[in-house]
Amino acid sequence: MKVLRYVIIVICLFFVGEIHAQEVKVSSIEDMMKSIDEQSRKSLDNLLNGATSKLILSENRDPVFVWSEEGATKVVKIEDESTFSVLENIKLAQSLSTAEVLVFSWDIRKPISLSNNKLSLFKKLKYIVIKTHDELNETVLKEALKDILPYLEVNKVQVLFDELEQPS
């Protein structure tokens, strides 16, 4: 009977460990760059800062493609959070489906209006990058993203944040 109890405890601990291992990774870009190998660092740096095919969306103007490569948009940048509704534009479906990075700015006083439906348009999404002038940490971000965390976990999307300097 004691042996059975120990076996059950070990199995439970194993599954608890597996569940925590699948948790969404949330970290600053700086911490992420320090924790990954050289090749991954170069790849991520190129996606975030390099001459990679980008789609810039804004509420006030038409979509802008930068360094456009046919069918190979790697980064989607949303200039204002209210622009999330633009993601549902059927003309952008191909560009969104190839994007690996979604970048947007966030004011901590407002909810993040990103839904599973909007995220499902990104078939190859690896990173969500949140830029803010507010002080952020993993706990604050996980709370703000709580509605989409299960989707991010299943699709192995990492959340990165970048604290910008306060404007003068």
Q: What are the extents of the domains in the chain?
A: 25-163
Cα 31 to Cα 25: distance, rounded to the nearest angstrom: 11
- CB count in 10 Å sphere of residue 41: 14
φ and ψ at residue 115, rounded to 5 degrees: -115, 165
Contacts of 163 (CB under 8 A, 6+ apart): 28, 132, 133, 134, 135, 136
Q: What does the pLDDT look like over 72-116, one tens digit per residue?
A: 889 999 887 667 777 777 788 888 899 999 999 888 888 888 889
CA nearest to 163, candidates 137, 125, 143: 137
* Cα(144)–Cα(28) distance, integer angstroms: 15
Closest alpha carbon to 114 in 75, 140, 153, 151 = 151
Residue spans of the chain under pLDDT 70? 1-7, 10, 12-22, 68-71, 81-82, 167-168
Q: pLDDT value at position 4? A: 62
